[in-house]
Amino acid sequence: MKLLILCILFSCLVVTGQDFLYGLEYQPDIHSRINQSFNEDPVQFSMMYNENSYDAKGTEFALSSVKIAKRSIMRYLSPSDTEGIMFRYTPKYPEQDLMIRILGGFDYNQNSNEHYFFVYKGLRLQSQITKNISINGYWWAGQFRGDKNYYNKSPLIDGYYQPDKEVVYLDNLQGSLRYDVSNVHVSLGRGKFQEGDNISGSIILNNAANDYGYLSGQLEFGTLSLSYLHCALTPDSSEVVYYQPDGPGSVDSYRVDKFLVMHKLDWNPRTNFMGFLGEEIVYGNRSLDLNYLIPPVFWRIIEHNLEDRDNVLIFGGLKWGITPHITFYQNTLFDEYTQSKILTDWWGSKYAVQAGLSYQFHNRFTNQDDDLISRVTMEATAVRPWTYTHFIKWNKFSNDNIAMGYPVGSNCINYSFETDYPITNRIFIAVNASYSRQGSEGNKFDLNTADPLVIPDQLHTKTRWLAGTIADTKRLKIMAEWKPLAHHFIRLGTTLSQINEMDWTKDLTLSYRTEF
């Protein structure tokens, strides 16, 4: 039986055929559409974003004259405008342009006892410098007001923020410099990525953590493509190496340098089948390691020769279009893979498995190219205890105190269901329901497995699925998005949650965004 399960796991080690590069923030084709704030959405996946159909050459500024300002106001309040923009420069040379949009909005969140506002502004920049070189940028900044204990739990706070006596200031920046030619793509930027189709969160690389600087590349050859990603992470607060109360460390304690490196091989032999196999490594407390700059080699062997001091994860998956409307996807991850003990109860047998079935259908408001298509997806995820942990504190699979692995955590089994449906071409609704069971032992990424109080015996300590006290969590998320005008967007949602047999909690959210 164990041999059969092992064969099934390895057969699944063949990330979706999409690459790391496209857009400021990458998400797979199948992912959850429910976010309480527009600021949580990946930049390129948004009901609000449209390419402007504009052929004229020259410069256009929405406020350059009284006449143009009046026309811009009419476009800004139009229900179907496609050309309104704050600034656009299109030179006489082909395939060159520069577009700048300004944006703003607010989020309002409320539960039975607390509430908060988040008001923000920002801008978006797109520029095609040459046929092969492009620059993109996206920035927003705002402040929280209301109940501090409540807004401290906001998913927008995914890293450092600046506190004040009365408000908390928060800002975010993503950007990229890209070079594309034929079958070679290279990108230098700041953003984040999510690998593997999912609706409850990725077990391979999740995008819940803060953005990070990265260098990525992709080489395509026939039905195969090789992708590479090297990221500079922000160390967790627990990764301080020393602290000197009377020295410079009292002002800025020394934190280690921390990196994530990732490569994968995609195989796309048919239009309805895509498979992948890859490795990702977290390393730190040293400068950039040249050993991990070579994409087409086995990094696990390199890591072994570097004294087994880094956190190595092996992953893979597939996506299979069983019919034109039904898609099966599967993701698998092994953390510090040990073949002889992979299916035993040994604590170091750390792995995660995720599988889903998605039915995609179309109505008169959507087509094959739209991101907000009609879809029903069911998914099951299982993560062994101690997955994503490490015996060296700066090698945890995290960025700035937030996990980069499965967002539910480890030592869990999760079942999720989501349906997404455009009611009209201006109204979109999504419903996500989930049920998870999670044990209290080995369920957090920040546990140090070198601590004898955590793992008494490295060679013989055993752990079982859902070890410890079990928490059962039921959660229902409902979101409706409305586009009343071409440059205005409203999102209304609610989240109902219950842990074990406690009372249900309810959170109401209202998000508004305008962009021109």
Query: What pLDDT, in 10s, does the model give residues 62-90?
Result: 999 999 999 999 999 999 888 889 999 98
Q: Are 393 and 239 in contact (CB under 8 A)?
A: yes
Distance CA 493, CA 429 (A): 9
Question: E strands of 256-337, at which residues?
Answer: 258-270, 273-284, 311-321, 326-335
Q: How confident is the model at residue 483 (pLDDT cuts 50, 70, 90)?
A: very high
181: exposed, middle or buried (Cβ count in 10 Å: 0-12, 13-18, 19+) = exposed
CB neighbours (10 Å) of residue 300?
Answer: 16
Average pLDDT, the chain: 86
pLDDT given for residue 423 in this prediction: 87
Does pLDDT of 453 surpass 50? yes
Q: Categorize the per-residue pLDDT at 386 as very low, low, confident or very high, splitting at 50, 70 and 90.
A: very high
CA angle 330, 335, 337 (to 5 degrees): 100
Give the tens place of pLDDT for each residue, 352-361.
999 999 998 8
Q: What is the pLDDT of residue 7?
A: 38
pLDDT at 99 over 70: yes
pLDDT at 42: 81
Region of 468 (left: φ > 0; alpha: ψ -120 to 50; beta: rest) is left
Tokens of 439: 């044990």
pLDDT for the residue 20: 44
For residue 504, the 8-state DSSP code is: P
% of residues, the chain, pLDDT over 90:
63
3-state secondary structure of 151: helix
- Top-confidence residue, 477 or 53: 477
Residue 249 has pLDDT above 80, yes or no: no
- pLDDT score of 90: 87
Does the pTM exceed 0.85?
A: yes
Mean pLDDT of 396-418: 95
Backbone angles phi, psi at 133, to 5 degrees: -120, 130
- For 127-181, how does the pLDDT look when each residue is reduced to its tens digit (9 = 90+)? 989 889 999 999 999 999 999 889 988 999 988 888 777 788 999 999 999 999 9
Rounded to an integer, the average pLDDT of 54-61 is 74
Q: Which residue has the tokens 């730190």?
A: 284
